[in-house]
């Protein structure tokens, strides 16, 4: 039985469950399906599992922390993954000239997802904090919960947990220690970058939250390329 066939069956089942239990629209499910397919095409099953776990954990945490059970849309999915897909496509094109460089861009793509993973856990866990958030650009200024760029100790711990989960998974997948260290550190760095962008550009309404995610994950991927 081929991996592709298993992939189709598993995610078809997941899509059906999400559609009927969480009322996700078909476009959002299709986008998630395409994103996972892109990672499967350009990388390997371990990376697909990682992206899948990111989706699942993000959904479960949202269900626990958000009483309204707010659903993610295709915009949320693309905001968190489009940079990773960009790095994969660039790596695929460059590999036609120099195959060695393909793995470098795969690591950058993983790092961008690590950023999204840590940031999501930071945001979702951070809302449980009983202390008022402080703006990352001025830690003395308290802001309302949910304000872009607002951070709490609990939220920071959530981001570190996300990086820890990333490190653990890729250790299980038997990646080399340098790669594990880079993508884990990028998860934490990416969370900080996301908060800074949120506290400055997003709060001035130049961009929205999804665009903040795209910018933060893209910058994180670039940082990973510099660290490799």
Residues 203, 128 contacting (CB under 8 angstroms): no
> How large a percentage of the chain has pLDDT more than 90?
43
SS (H, E, C) the chain: CCHHHHHHHHHHHHHHHHHHHCCCCHHHHHHHHHHHHHHHHHCCHHHHHHHHHHHHHHHHHHHHHCCCCCCCCHHHHHHHHHHHHHHHHHHHHHCCCCCCHHHHHHHHHHHHHHHHHHHHHHHHHHCCCCCCCEECCCCCCECCCCCCCEECHHHHHHHHHHHHHHHHHHHHCCCCHHHHHHHHHHHHHHHHHHHHHHHHHHCCCCCCHHHHHHHHHHHHHHHHHHHC
In degrees, rounded to 5, the angle at the alpha carbon of residue 85 between the alpha carbons of residues 60 and 112 is 60
Q: What is the DSSP string of 92-133?
A: HHHTTT-TTHHHHHHHHHHHHHHHHHHHHHHHHHHTT-SSPP
pLDDT at 32 over 80: yes
DSSP letter, residue 201: I
Q: What is the pLDDT of residue 124?
A: 84
- How far apart CA 10 and CA 172 sit, in angstroms, is 21
Residue whose structure tokens are 């790092």: 111
Paired tokens of 17: 């469950």
Instruction: Give the per-residue pLDDT at 92.
Output: 87
pLDDT digits (tens, 9 = 90+) for 46-103: 898 899 888 888 877 777 766 555 567 888 889 999 999 999 999 988 888 876 678 8
The C-alpha atoms of residue 56 and residue 16 are separated, in whole angstroms, by 14
- What are the residue boundaries of the structural domains of the chain, listed by start? 3-227
CA proximity to 115, closest of 228, 7, 213, 21: 213
Can you state the angle between helices 74-94 and 209-227, rounded to 10 degrees?
A: 30
Task: Specify the range with the lowest mean pLDDT, choosing from 32-36, 126-130, 143-147.
Answer: 143-147
Distance spanning both ends of the chain, measured CA to CA: 36
By residue count, the chain amounts to 228
Closest to 49 measured CA to CA, from 169, 145, 136, 157: 169
Q: What are the tens digits of pLDDT across the range 199-225?
A: 899 988 889 999 999 999 999 999 999
């Amino acid at each position: 039985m081929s991996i592709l066939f298993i992939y189709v069956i598993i995610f078809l089942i997941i899509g059906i469950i999400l559609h009927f239990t969480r009322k996700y629209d078909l476009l959002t499910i299709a986008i998630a399906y395409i994103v996972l397919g892109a990672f499967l095409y350009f990388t390997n099953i371990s990376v697909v599992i990682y992206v899948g776990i990111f989706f699942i954990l993000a959904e479960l945490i949202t269900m626990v922390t958000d009483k309204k059970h707010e659903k993610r849309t295709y915009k949320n999915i693309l905001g968190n993954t489009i940079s990773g897909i960009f790095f994969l496509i660039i790596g695929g094109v460059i590999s036609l000239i120099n195959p060695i460089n393909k793995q470098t861009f795969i690591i950058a793509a993983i790092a961008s997802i690590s950023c999204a993973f840590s940031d999501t856990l930071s945001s979702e866990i951070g809302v449980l904090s009983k202390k008022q958030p402080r703006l990352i650009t001025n830690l003395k200024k308290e802001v309302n919960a949910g304000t872009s760029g607002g951070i709490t100790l609990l939220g920071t711990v959530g981001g570190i947990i996300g990086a820890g989960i990333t490190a653990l998974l890729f250790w299980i997948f038997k990646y080399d220690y340098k790669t594990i260290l880079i993508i884990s550190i990028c998860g934490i760095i990416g969370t900080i970058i996301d908060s800074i962008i949120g506290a400055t550009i997003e709060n001035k309404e130049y961009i929205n939250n999804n665009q903040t995610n795209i910018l933060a994950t893209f910058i994180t991927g670039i940082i990973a390329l510099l660290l490799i």
